[in-house]
Amino acid sequence: MSRTPAGVSRQTVTRAVNDMPGINPGTRERVLAAARELNYHPSRFGRGLVKPSARTLGLVVGDLTNPYYADLAATVLRLAAERGWNVVMAEPGSVADLVGAADAVVGFTGLALEPPGAGAPNLPVVEIDPPRVHPGHGRIEFERLTATRDAVRHLLERGTRRPVVLDAASRSSRGRTFLEAFGEAGVDAVVVDRDTPWADLAELSPDALVAFNDLEGFRLLRELRAHGVDVPGDVRVVGVDGLAVGDFVTPRLSTLAIDLAEVGRAALDLVAELSEGPGRNLTRVVPHRFVVRDST
Amino acid sequence: MSRTPAGVSRQTVTRAVNDMPGINPGTRERVLAAARELNYHPSRFGRGLVKPSARTLGLVVGDLTNPYYADLAATVLRLAAERGWNVVMAEPGSVADLVGAADAVVGFTGLALEPPGAGAPNLPVVEIDPPRVHPGHGRIEFERLTATRDAVRHLLERGTRRPVVLDAASRSSRGRTFLEAFGEAGVDAVVVDRDTPWADLAELSPDALVAFNDLEGFRLLRELRAHGVDVPGDVRVVGVDGLAVGDFVTPRLSTLAIDLAEVGRAALDLVAELSEGPGRNLTRVVPHRFVVRDST
DNA sequence: CTGAAAGCGCTTACAG
DNA sequence: CTGAAAGCGCTTACAG
């Protein structure tokens, strides 16, 4: 008996809306018209409950305005599509909202994940370059030391004696690694805040600047040009991230690059593994490499 | 009677997994342990069916490697988060997969949307700069002519006489608009393929190049520099899109810019309106503006 | 603190 | 061609 507003049964509505065979064309039209009229849209949840549907991957990255995150997202999107996954995106601040919408989570969840949700059996989570270990989560770790040593050696060979490392106030792993590598080489690097303007940097009379990332490196390049400082003649500049756009600026920015396609691939592999059940080897290591361009 | 593997009822599992009160701590632990053991994760669909949950916006953009799409995505992500929406992303090719995962769709759905799904009462759809009109869909239209005229006037004032427009093989709206504007000014522009290398362009001895977009503009800038051609002295170059990075290249790229934040806002407004029911005014117009930098 | 019942909105057989 | 029944996996009252 139970009738829909169109005066037909639920099954018939299903047939009309899903364009299935075995329905009178007239009936279909009538149902569709009523649906349009009532602004009816079938519920994803009702449908998902009874039809097999694509799994959804939650992707957590910072501001997409930064090509570093955008490039990673592009890779993950592509890999996910290949494997038949949908991708929901969120910034680290909104991870919570995302949990209800995804079957697994990947990305720079960073500090956003504490506390680990009362230990509830949450989704599979793969963290990229995370500040601490969360048991049960997959991890993509960055191996920075080797490439950083390459960069430091390169800088010293070019005559660097007074390097300045620009770092986040909270001291990032990348900053610490540079200090370590300079230290090994017997050079004391000065650390200053990541967004220190050249006007203030100049007082340290540095002959090399390690930017917090490539974007900050571009900023420095621009400021140095504005002040008539020659790069790399007077000051060498190295960035971190390996953005493709670094090839378009002048001078082209030397940088500690990471292969984001490899990061994405490793992350999705771990997701797959975690989806099977608690895995054994939950961490993958991806190395940086030092790319020499024109700014050093 | 119906028992779960943990030996308790479904309700008790719900209480444990959702960290709800009114459950014996021992029971909770036992349930969580079993859940972990069995790699159990609650179904999004079952839950979504009975709990109010965030709506999900489908966002369709091209390769995020292109900052144009990345910047739009960044804006949409932010606006969506403010309004409590989740965002699933897909490239135009994968729109179909996305439809089952979203409550509304926004973006460059372009040609991917034909045929319009057998007229089924699909989700609300808002198309950005779409090649044709789909009845019932919202549209964000770009108004290019005014800014294009500004650009053309500017180029002519700087002495341009032999402009070349680089366009997609399928002739884009942007390309046609430039031809129209040059035509109005009594100048015949030559059209060539968007990725024509400078080696071939040189044979036309152009004194201005209209790149297909900013990224292609960067490419041209680089090629011109490699060939020792002075920009803007010998050849002027204008891009399309208004990417922020255009400010970092040398020379800084003049461009036909669009305010992507405004595009995003208009799109989400239309989604909201369509979600209420069939709206009246389904189109919003966003103008380009010509940004003069150093390459012209 | 724990469980039996009802229902969320769909689709998939199965009758007619 | 159309509809009545069953069930997908959850949560929300309601009993005990």
Residue A147: CA count within 13 A, CB half-sphere? 22
Spatial distance between the Cα atoms of B265 and B78, rounded to a whole number of angstroms: 10
Q: What is the mean pLDDT of chain A?
A: 89
Cβ atoms of residues A152 and A180 within 8 Å: no
Residue A111's pLDDT is 53
Tokens at A46, concatenated: 């009702």
Task: Please list, in sequence order, all residues whose beta carbon lies within 8 angstroms of the beta carbon of residue A29, skipping any fewer than 6 positions away.
Answer: none
Q: Exposure of A222 by Cβ count < 10 A (0-12 exposed, 13-18 middle, 19+ buried)?
A: middle
User: Can you point out the beta strands (E) in chain A?
Assistant: 56-60, 86-90, 104-107, 125-128, 138-143, 163-167, 190-193, 208-210, 236-241, 254-258, 283-291
Among A65-74, B70-79, B86-95, whose mean pLDDT is lowest? B86-95
Phi-psi region of B6 (alpha: psi -120 to 50; beta: other; left: phi over 0): alpha
Cβ atoms of residues A214 and A246 within 8 Å: yes
Which CB contacts under 8 angstroms, 24+ apart, belong to B246-249?
B246/B214, B246/B217, B246/B218, B246/B293, B247/B293, B248/A218, B248/A221, B248/A222, B248/A245, B248/A248, B248/A249, B249/A248, B249/A249, B249/A250, B249/B218, B249/B221
What confidence tens digit (pLDDT) does each residue in B255-281 have? 999 999 999 999 999 999 888 766 677
Residue B76: closest CA among A187, A169, A2, A73: A73
Residue B119's pLDDT is 39
Among A65, A99, A123, A216, the strongest candidate for a mutation testing the B interface, having the largest count of B CBs within 10 A, is A65
Tokens at A174, concatenated: 């990348």
Selecting from A17, A86, A278 the residue whose C-beta is nearest the C-beta of B97 gives A86
- Contact list in B for residue A245 (CB cut-off 8 A) is 245, 248
Per the document, the length of chain B is 296
- AA identity, residue B84: G
Residue B116's pLDDT is 43
Q: Exposure of B64 by Cβ count < 10 A (0-12 exposed, 13-18 middle, 19+ buried)?
A: buried
The CATH 1.10.260.40 domain(s) of chain B lie at: 10-50
Q: What percent of chain B has pLDDT over 90?
A: 57
Tokens at A105, concatenated: 């989570």
Residue A118's pLDDT is 41
Task: Please list, in sequence order, all residues whose beta carbon lies within 8 angstroms of the beta carbon of residue A13, skipping any fewer than 6 positions away.
Answer: A4, A6, A31, A35
Residue B115's pLDDT is 46
**In CATH, what number does B56-143+260-287 get?**
3.40.50.2300
What confidence tens digit (pLDDT) does each residue in A219-229 have? 999 899 889 99
Cβ atoms of residues A258 and A140 within 8 Å: no
Task: Give the model's confidence band at A122: pLDDT under 50 very low, under 70 low, under 90 confident, else very high.
Answer: low
CA distance B130 to chain A (A): 22
Residue B77's pLDDT is 95
Other CB atoms within a 10 A radius of the CB of residue A236 amount to 21
Residue B180: closest CA among B143, B132, B154, B148: B148
d(CA B159, C1' C4) / Å: 86
Q: Which residues does residue B164 pair with via DSSP β-bridges, in sequence order?
A: B190, B209
Which CB contacts under 8 angstroms, 24+ apart, belong to B4-12?
B4/B34, B5/B34, B5/B38, B6/B30, B6/B31, B6/B34, B6/B35
Buried b (16+ CB within 10 A) or exposed e, A208-221: bbbbbbbbbbbbbb
A3 strand C contact, CB < 7 Å: no
Cβ atoms of residues A103 and B44 within 8 Å: yes
Domain covering A56-143+260-286, topology: Rossmann fold (3.40.50)
Put simply, the answer to whether B44 touches A101 (Cβ < 8 Å) is yes
The DSSP 8-state label assigned to residue A292 in this structure reads -
What confidence tens digit (pLDDT) does each residue in A13-59 have? 988 888 888 888 888 888 888 888 888 888 889 998 988 888 899 99
Residue B137's pLDDT is 87
Tokens at A290, concatenated: 């030092």
Tokens at A280, concatenated: 């054994």
What confidence tens digit (pLDDT) does each residue in B135-159 have? 888 999 999 999 999 999 999 999 9
Selecting from B17, B64, B87 the residue whose C-beta is nearest the C-beta of A77 gives B64
The CATH 3.40.50.2300 domain(s) of chain A lie at: 56-143+260-286, 145-258
Tokens at B66, concatenated: 């292109």
Task: Please list, in sequence order, all residues whose beta carbon lies within 8 angstroms of the beta carbon of residue A222, skipping any fewer than 6 positions away.
Answer: B248
d(CA B15, C1' D13) / Å: 14
- Please report where in the chains the tokens 């001078």 appear, as a residue: A251
d(CA A5, C1' C16) / Å: 23
Residue B113's pLDDT is 56
Residue A117's pLDDT is 45
**In CATH, what number does A10-50 get?**
1.10.260.40
Residue B33: CA count within 13 A, CB half-sphere? 9
Spatial distance between the Cα atoms of A210 and A238, rounded to a whole number of angstroms: 5
Cβ atoms of residues A173 and A213 within 8 Å: no
Q: Which residues does residue B126 pair with via DSSP β-bridges, in sequence order?
A: B106, B138
Q: Which CATH number fits domain A145-258: 3.40.50.2300, 3.40.50.450, 3.40.1530.20, 3.40.120.10?
A: 3.40.50.2300
What confidence tens digit (pLDDT) does each residue in B18-35 have? 888 888 888 888 888 888
Pairing of strands B104-107, B56-60: parallel
The CATH 3.40.50.2300 domain(s) of chain B lie at: 56-143+260-287, 145-258
Q: A123 vs A107, A211, B289, CA distance in Å?
A: 13, 36, 46
